[in-house]
Copies of this chain bind each other. A is one copy, B any other.
Amino acid sequence: MNKKIKLEDVAELAGVSKATVSRVINRRGYLSQKTIEKVEAAMAELNYHPNVIAQQLHTQRTNVIGIIVPTVATPFFGELTAELEQRLFKRGYKVLVSGALNNPGKERQYLQQLLGRQVDGLIIATHNADLPEYQHANLPIVAIDRFLRADIPVVASDNYAGATAACEALIARGARHIIHTDDLSPLNAQDTARQRAYEAVMQAHGWPAYTYPSLLDPVQTRASFQRIFTEHPEVDAIFASNDLDAATLLDLAVEIGYAVPTQLQIIGYDGTQTTQRLLPQLATVVQPLSEMAAQAVELLEAKLQQRATPTEVVLPVQVKFGRTLRPLPTKKALPKQK
């Protein structure tokens, strides 16, 4: 086991060329399943592990992509990261993952290290979009739901249309006193679009709009939402800008004694697999996570190959109706329509 095993030893045992062994290791070019198995068996038998670092220095490519998200601990970013990783792996890349949350210092340090040629490119879905490193970085970057710099393409779902559809689903079911909850931190562009859509819908009806802040800390968020019910006991519907907040509101409503959906309708946002499994009754706006990941990987590959890319790709969302919404009124009972 201490004898230095070389690529040619693997090639000889497998009965293939050195180039083929190299292609199996890097999963590049056409390879039959039989060839892959022969080479892998030979590598296992010889206990051969290619020196990836030396290879990287030679090719100036790492075949590693950096992914920076707020955290992989929440359903949305956990599922997004899983989708990105799977798709990148199929194209021969591994992923360095970092959760930067509300820690711009960590994100800066992380970025500085990654920019030292440790990755071939970056996919960014962070809260700290204003870091100077994003202005200077000269490697391929794609952003998800964030604007970083004019030449960095953005993949997003249609937050404005999704929020409008959520509000209209509530109104079609008789809601009049709709309250919105949202992360109001200034860097949260996608939530701003959701809030703007809510305010536009309310204004079109001549109704007042109230947005209650969702905060980083769940306990503080719950306290913030509790004020909705004391300050606006007339509330008959809530549009929450994410499903975690919608769940908190649902629990608060039960605790306070509002019947859902007869007295209070609730609709969330995101519609992840985890939320749909844990809280299948929740109405929500489903973001096309898998498609967003696919587009981000596509754009990054284009950047890596120095092909032109669109500056923005916006994907449609879908309302998932659930038991936290009332049934639609039958036609004759509908309020007057245009």
Give which listed residue, B79, B83, B95, contacts A96 with CB less than 8 A: B95
A99 to B89, CA, bound (A): 10
Chain B residues, CB < 8 A from A251: 280-281
CB neighbours (8 Å) of A136 from chain B are 44, 47
CA distance A227 to B85 in the complex (A): 36
Do residues A52 and B117 form an inter-chain contact, with CB atoms below 8 A?
Answer: yes
- B247 touching A118, Cβ below 8 Å: no
Q: Does A43 contact B (CB under 8 A)?
A: yes
Q: How many copies does the complex hold?
A: 2
| Closest B residue, CB atoms, query A252 | B280
The interface bits of chain A over 256-280 (1 if a CB of B lies within 8 angstroms of the residue's CB, else 0) are: 0000000000000000011101111
Q: How many residues of A contact B (CB 8 A)?
A: 65
Cα A133 to Cα B51 in complex, Å, equals: 16
Is A17 interfacial (CB 8 A cutoff)?
Answer: no
Partner of A82, one of B27, B49, B73: B73
Which of B40, B53, B86, B278 interacts with A108 by CB under 8 Å?
B40
Is A192 among interface residues, defined by CB-CB distance under 8 A? no
- Beyond A72-B82, A85-B98, A95-B96, list 10 extra A-B contacts (CB 8 Å): A44-B133, A52-B118, A53-B57, A53-B117, A81-B97, A89-B110, A96-B96, A97-B97, A247-B280, A274-B278
Interface residues of A (CB under 8 A from B): 1, 25, 27, 40, 43-44, 47, 49-54, 56-57, 62, 64, 71-75, 78-79, 81-83, 85-86, 89, 94-99, 106, 108-110, 112-118, 132-133, 136, 138, 218, 243-244, 247-248, 251, 273-275, 277-281
